[in-house]
């Protein structure tokens, strides 16, 4: 079977879906791996590295038309679907909720499609959970961005020239990215505070040394995710958070609710209460942002408060992001194959949850799409 990797066309994307180390592992298992020329350049993996790992380096057309399994980060574009081999297996993010046309075209090609955003968020699924691996990278980078933009230092320093107070860093949304942001801020010497509406987040935050701001509203939803707050709950949250945000030098927000625009948590009046020189890093900017003033992809200054909503953050740390994505993907190939042949077993919960098209048949429930 041929496994294909093509260049990610998504604007500014530096990651690649399979790095040479994982190519080697798949080649050893008997797969032929075809990679598009230059596909790893953004992550500093060169064609020669792929060749040494046993891959065949080819032009785009040859890769996409020969791949029995195509592994990709971003959803396939229409042009890519047109070139795809009939009955190919595609493993990628799909944004299925807004890409119905593309899914229909994939179905017309009798494709089998695994949507990475539908992998269950369980301990058992961690070996293939790209949402977690990429969020880990994003959380780390968010803190570095904050440290870079902040006009102050993070650690407490006692020197002959005086004592510097540690920066107060508040992380709102203590999922995978939030935890890594907290841990990174702690390593830099900041005082760290955490807020979330899922009860389980409290222990997670404490485990990295954060002080948890006890939420006045708890809102656990399905599958371990948070649910959207009601209007009443939003008001309570607003009252509670305003003072804590005002006391912070840095606020990093990561809050998401599946299938919805990211929740608006930091309103303009809250930003107005922050000190000049404070920083907000809005990691939810890809999905609309958690701060009312966030302009996705831009850095703005509002009354002396620096607000930055970076986009596609894992791509800005492309090397480990690609390595982790690849490891997850090589594990995914293991999951859906046996002895080098496809073996898609729907009694396996990760397969059942993530396979949204099987041999051209849509497998999503109506309102899932
Ligand atoms: P996510 O990206 O969906 O959201 C980030 C965080 O924002 C979450 O902690 C969420 O509770 C929080 N949030 C949402 N609305 C909020 C609001 N209004 N105010 C404050 N916080 C808000 O989260 P994620 O990192 O993708 O994790 C999703 C779930 O998957 C979590 O329950 C996590 O523990 C779980 N998970 C489990 C494992 C495992 O090994 N068992 C691994 C990864 C993730």
Instruction: Please report which confidence band the pLDDT of residue 364 belongs to, taking 50, 70 and 90 as the band edges.
Output: confident
pLDDT of residue 177: 98
Residue 180, ligand 1, Cβ within 6 A: no
Residue 224, ligand 1, Cβ within 6 A: yes
Using alpha carbons, select from 67, 62, 13 the residue that is nearest to residue 37.
62
Residue 131, ligand 1, Cβ within 6 A: yes
Whether the full predicted model's pTM is greater than 0.75, yes or no, is yes
Query: Please, is 238 exposed, middle or buried when counting C-beta atoms within 10 Å of its C-beta (0-12, 13-18, 19+)?
Result: middle
Whether 191 is catalytic:
no
pLDDT of residue 368: 58
Q: Could you tell me the distance, in angstroms and rounded to a whole number, from the CA of residue 179 to the centre of ligand 1?
A: 10
Which of 122, 226, 259, 267 gets mutated to test ligand 1 (max ligand atoms within 8 A of its CB)? 226
pLDDT of residue 259: 75
Residue 356, ligand 1, Cβ within 6 A: no
Q: Could you tell me if 248 and 170 are in contact, meaning their C-beta atoms sit under 8 angstroms apart?
A: yes
- CATH code linked to domain 2-118+318-357: 3.40.50.720
Structure tokens at 367: 């309102």
- CATH code linked to domain 132-316: 3.40.50.720
Instruction: Enumerate the CATH 3.40.50.720 domain ranges in the chain, comma separated.
Output: 2-118+318-357, 132-316
Whether 121 is catalytic:
yes
pLDDT of residue 367: 46
Say whether pLDDT at 369 is over 60.
no
Residue 174, ligand 1, Cβ within 6 A: yes
Given the structure tokens 């899914």, which residue do they identify?
103
Q: Which is more confidently placed, 223 or 299?
A: 299
Reduce the DSSP state of residue 274 to 3 states and report it. coil
Q: For residues 4 and 220, what is the distance between their CA atoms, to the nearest angstrom?
A: 39
Q: Could you tell me the distance, in angstroms and rounded to a whole number, from the CA of residue 175 to the centre of ligand 1?
A: 4
């Amino acid at each position: 079977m041929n496994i294909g990797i093509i260049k990610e066309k998504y604007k500014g994307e530096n990651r690649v879906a399979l790095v040479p180390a994982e190519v080697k592992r798949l080649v050893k298992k008997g797969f032929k791996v075809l990679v598009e020329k230059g596909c790893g350049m953004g992550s500093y993996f060169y064609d020669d590295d792929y060749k040494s790992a046993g891959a065949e380096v080819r032009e785009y057309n040859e890769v996409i038309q020969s791949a029995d399994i195509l592994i990709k980060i971003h959803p396939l574009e229409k042009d890519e679907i047109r070139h795809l081999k009939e009955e190919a297996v595609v493993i990628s993010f799909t944004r299925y909720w807004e890409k119905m046309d593309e899914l229909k075209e994939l179905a017309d090609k009798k494709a089998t499609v695994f949507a990475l955003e539908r992998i269950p968020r369980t301990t058992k699924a961690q070996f293939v959970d790209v949402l977690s691996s990429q969020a880990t990278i994003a959380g780390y980078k968010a803190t570095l961005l904050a440290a870079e933009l902040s006009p102050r230092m993070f650690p407490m320093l006692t020197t002959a020239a005086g004592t510097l107070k540690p920066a107060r860093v508040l992380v709102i949304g203590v999922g995978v990215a939030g935890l890594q942001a907290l841990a990174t801020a702690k390593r830099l010497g900041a005082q760290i505070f955490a807020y979330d509406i899922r009860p389980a987040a409290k222990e997670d935050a404490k485990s990295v040394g954060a002080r948890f701001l006890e939420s006045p509203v708890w809102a656990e939803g399905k599958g371990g995710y948070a649910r959207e707050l009601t209007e009443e709950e939003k008001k309570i949250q607003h009252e509670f958070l305003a003072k804590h945000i005002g006391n912070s030098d840095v606020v990093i927000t990561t809050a998401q609710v599946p299938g919805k625009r990211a929740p608006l948590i930091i309103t303009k009046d809250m930003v107005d209460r922050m000190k000049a020189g404070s920083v907000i890093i809005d990691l939810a900017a890809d999905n609309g942002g958690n701060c009312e003033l966030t302009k996705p992809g831009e850095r703005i200054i509002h009354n002396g408060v620096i607000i930055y909503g970076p986009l596609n953050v894992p791509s800005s740390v492309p090397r480990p992001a690609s390595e982790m994505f690849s490891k997850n993907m090589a594990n995914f190939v293991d999951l859906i194959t046996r002895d080098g042949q496809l073996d898609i077993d729907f009694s396996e919960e990760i397969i059942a949850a993530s396979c949204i098209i099987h041999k051209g048949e849509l497998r999503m429930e109506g309102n899932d799409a």
